[in-house]
Amino acid sequence: MAPESWKTLSSRTVYQNRWMTVREDLAELPDGKSTIYGVVECPECVGVLPFVDEDHVLMVRQFRYVFGESHRWEMPSGGVKTGESLEQAVRRELREEAGYDPAQLSHINTYFTSKSVVHEVAHLFIGRQLVRAHEPPDETEFLEVACFPFEHVLQMVLESEIRDSMTVIAVLLADRLRRVNQ
């Protein structure tokens, strides 16, 4: 039998900006007791693993404020803007961050980035047949772009050098697909 649901008794926004909303809920537990529960709400996000050819992918690197580092590689990713389809968001992000548009896009996974306090849904894609298409990056993005052999990127994931969850999941799934299709 599935666990009983919690009931939201009240909810209030504590903080909000263009990237997220933080709310505090008062929730009633199945046993009748109540608890305060903090939730961070983010718009849906997309990520794309762009294959230049069968054996090479484009990766980006930028300063990540939360962890205070700029040496880790990741795939192009970002939030879905209001009114945008997932495909439109993927194409925009790839143009902004790497300067390419994929002729072929394949959805490979949808997942929750956190199952407890962050309400964010991520959609992962593989892009192929890349065509040059420039779009200026967001005002907070200062990016470096590089092309890597896929096997090197896979190794960086396996050695925890790449830690971005979207990239880790996409690379592992891409590796699985490559093995199945060989």
Q: How confident is the model at residue 138 (pLDDT cuts 50, 70, 90)?
A: low
Write the pLDDT tens digit of every residue in 64-98: 877 777 788 999 999 999 999 999 999 999 999 99
CATH 3.90.79.10 domain locations along the chain: 45-180
Name which residue leads in pLDDT, 1 or 43. Answer: 43
The rounded mean pLDDT for the chain is 93
Tell whether the model's pLDDT for residue 146 goes beyond 80.
yes
User: Does the domain formed by 45-180 have CATH 3.90.79.10?
Assistant: yes
pLDDT of residue 98: 93
Lowest mean pLDDT of 9-13, 14-18, 79-83, 132-136, name the range. Answer: 132-136
Phi, psi (5° rounding) for residue 117?
-120, -10
